[in-house]
Homo-oligomer: A and B are copies of this chain.
Amino acid sequence: MSTKKEQTRERMRDAASRSFRSHGYAGVGVDAIAKAAGVTSGAFYAHFGSKDGAFRDALEQGLDEVIGAIPQYQSEHGADWVRAFADYYLGKAHRDDLACGCAMTTLSPEVARSGPDVKALFETKMKKIAGLVADGLPGGDEEQRLSRAWSMLGILIGGLTLVRSMKSNRLAEQIAKSIRRGAVDAAASLRAGEDD
């Protein structure tokens, strides 16, 4: 129906998503988010109801992006998809762009401080993501693959946070290399004795 309204809503959702990732939940105000979307706080509250509501919306959208991206990497890169994904995840472009960065990494620390509703949403989406990852992993039974999927996600999230916190680009690159290798190893069936 109203294309204009949906366009505005999309701009606001994007602005909220980018702002929360860049500055954290408490690090940005409603006025600033609205301004970034080219509207005022009145429009913000008409659409989202509250700052919390906007965060929930941004979180859901951000994790849905991941849910969409995983199968795409799997079908595009085949058995080597984990390496390709880790390359992107720890690459300089993703490192340097907080605003467009993966929601798992930028938003999860905020979720850890949030209430049960936000955590429930995060949990649902992350279970989906871990399941998709596990589906693309070789060897072992389903439980083993899921376990490796959580490990891979964990090391990517922690690794990205780590490299983003370094001052020296050279050190960041060195750590990124280590994390990439760790992620690929975590995803592979270790006990099968695979090597690179």
Contacts and interface: CB of A to CB of B under 8 A. Distances in A.
Contact of A112 (B98, B175, B179, B182): B98
Nearest to A191: B195
Contacts of A161: 108-109, 112, 157-158, 161
Interface size class of A (residues with CB under 8 A): 35 or more
Copies in the assembly, this chain: 2
Contact of A190 (B158, B162, B185): B185
Interface of A is mostly: helix
A108 B144 CA distance: 30
Contact of A24 (B26, B111, B166, B186): B26
Interface of A: 22-27, 98, 105-106, 108-113, 116, 119-120, 122-123, 126-127, 146-148, 150-162, 164-168, 171, 174-175, 177-179, 181-182, 185-186, 190-191, 193, 195
